[in-house]
Amino acid sequence: MKILVTGGCGFIGSHLVERLLKEGHQVRIVDDLSTGSLDNISGFIKHPRLELIIDTILNEPLVDELVRRSDFVYHLAAVVGVRRVLENPIESILVNMEGTNNILKRCSRWQRRLLLTSTSEIYGKNENVPFTEDADIVIGTTTKRRWSYACTKALDEFLSLAYAEEKNLPVIIVRLFNTVGPRQSPHYGMVLPRFVKQALSGQPLTVFGDGRQTRCFLHVEDALSAMEKLRQQEKAYGGVFNVGTQEEITIADLAALVKEMTASPSEIVFVAPEKVYPRGFEDMQRRVPDISRLTALTGFTPVRTIRDIVADTIAYFTQSQNNG
């Protein structure tokens, strides 16, 4: 197939592109490199079946042509990371909303199948865990900037489902929960790569708050397996699916695990979030997905444990240090 991947130079996008090339597909990437990096695709950037376009998904004529020439579209391009959203709220809102509308409009025009990546952020402050896809969205006040990201992604979902209903657009929505692994940048508030880099360099591992907040971390390769299974399922189109794991860990325990597995002398320190993040930060205590809908349709279950994930992340950054 001819497959378009928006955001294909990003962390998840680069792994997706690499997998698609190995499967024999012809792949086009469109990425403005605002958070993506050419380093992420350096191992296969010269692949004969890969075409790279450095541009924005706000470029309507370009997106129209790329979608027309594709059989399937993976839409991953978005402003990501709590820190980046807080520091660049206008960019976050415009790219996430106008960019997605552009993709949807062109996929509708050419009737191309589409998988759109959404986020666990849209569950907001809902405390009724594990989250099911039909759970209520509980968004915080507009004076807290971090909620702008959740709102834009929720509107992306509303718009996608509207296109599915009114225009018969074949679209799948996946809500990703804390996808991590090799190539993920420590910038923009990504906790695991930050811990690993700190541990390997002997710096203190900085835990924001009391560290008792919990997350469920999913290896990027498991996330891609779920997305691929959904793409191949006719009944998935028009649906919304949580993609994650139910293996829950506190952030303090994650820091301790990284310290143990790196054999690092680094200390673990607890820092008030307001000393690190710009105004508008707010955190949630727990994020746990219910993936029963995904499992029932595709048979998907995560393969890699948190120790596997940490080990792969450590190996990646260790190699990067040795090469650098």
Where in the sequence numbering do the catalytic residues fall?
149
The phi, psi pair for 169, rounded to 5°, reads -75, 125
Separation of first and last alpha carbons in the chain: 36
Residue type, 74: Y
- Return the sign of the alpha-carbon dihedral for residues 257, 261, 262, 267: positive
| DSSP states of 267-317 | PEEEE-GGGTSPTT----S---B--HHHHHHH-------HHHHHHHHHHHH
Are 177 and 245 within 8 A, CB to CB?
yes
Largest Cα–Cα distance in the chain? 58
Question: What does the alpha-carbon distance between residue 194 and residue 219 come to, in Å, rounded to a whole number?
Answer: 16
Are 137 and 206 within 8 A, CB to CB?
no
Residue type, 90: I
Are 112 and 72 within 8 A, CB to CB?
yes
| Helix (H) or strand (E) run with residue 309 in it | helix 306-323
Q: Is 227 helix (H, G, I), strand (E, B) or coil?
A: helix
Q: Tokens 């120790």 — which residue?
A: 307
Question: What does the alpha-carbon distance between residue 243 and residue 107 come to, in Å, rounded to a whole number?
Answer: 23
Radius of gyration of the chain (CA): 19
Nearest Cα to Cα of residue 192 among 263, 254, 268: 254
Nearest Cα to Cα of residue 204 among 194, 219, 215, 214: 194
Nearest Cα to Cα of residue 16 among 88, 77, 94: 77
